[in-house]
Amino acid sequence: MSEAREHPAFTHPTDRTVKIWRYMDFTKFVGMLEHTSLFFARSDLLGDPFEGSFPPANDVMFDHVHRQFLDVFVGDDPQKREQYVNSVRKLRLGVKGQRPWMLVSCWHMNEHESAAMWKLYTDGGKSICIQSTYDKLRSCLPSEIYTGVVRYIDYEKQFISEDNYFRNFMHKRKSFEHEREIRAIWPLLPKPDEDPPAFGSWQSLDLQELIEKVFVSPDAPLWFADLARKVIERYVLDVPLVQSTLSKDPIW
């Protein structure tokens, strides 16, 4: 399988061997094993209404954002300017319509597991986390999928360049900065006679190549760790199962 493709809207981490983590409920993990695939969710169903949107700063700084096009194609003609502004608005609405067709896999970039991520993205003790690296994720994905680091900006003060609308999906508000997100995006081609996938879609890949370790929730009971081990063995996935280090007792 070929590596995920390059694109100017996607910036790679400085260290491409950096560890990445995907925290999930156990049922989602079993689904991954059953499908031998990674699930990509629709961007409009990720829970953030700002996904793929433009910052208010893009309107405040409109002349600056579109300076090159305004200078070349509009000049001082007010009628041409109005036509250009209307065309930009139509293009923006097109981006909104693209959201159900933009499928996303979200990962947390960190050299260590995160107590906050366990609490935010899993359901108590019956949860696991798979750990990989950025390079391994890229090497497992087909060429039609892009990967990169999400950039967090102040939507009131900073704009997103409108030269390519992938940029919208690789920026988030600063209030999400704790996520330290690595994002893989799978753009589907909208078809007039078809509806977008209901929730998202599975992308087949080599889980053995992708996953370095499977971590069990720090709140998991002993029986759950044993169950997770048996499930991994049943699906012939040869990776270490690790009890979260956050579950260790303190030393007094």
**For 179-213, how does the pLDDT look when each residue is reduced to its tens digit (9 = 90+)?**
999 999 999 988 788 999 999 999 999 999 999 99
- Average pLDDT of 132-152? 96
Q: For the whole model, what pTM was predicted?
A: 0.89
Q: What pLDDT sits at residue 68?
A: 67
Q: pLDDT digits over 148-176, tens only?
A: 999 999 999 998 888 788 999 999 999 99
Instruction: Inform me whether the pLDDT recorded for 74 exceeds 90.
Output: no
Amino acid at 143: S
Instruction: Inform me whether the pLDDT recorded for 73 exceeds 70.
Output: no
> Are the C-beta atoms of residues 65 and 57 closer than 8 Å to each other?
no
- Average pLDDT of 25-42? 97
Instruction: Inform me whether the pLDDT recorded for 230 exceeds 90.
Output: yes
Share of the chain above pLDDT 70, in %: 96
Confidence of residue 237 (pLDDT cuts 50, 70, 90): very high
Write the DSSP symbol of residue 207.
H
Q: CA 181 to CA 176: how far, in whole Å? A: 9
Residue burial 192-229, b: 16+ Cβ < 10 Å; e: rest = eeeebeeebbebebebeebbeebbbbbbbeeebbeebe
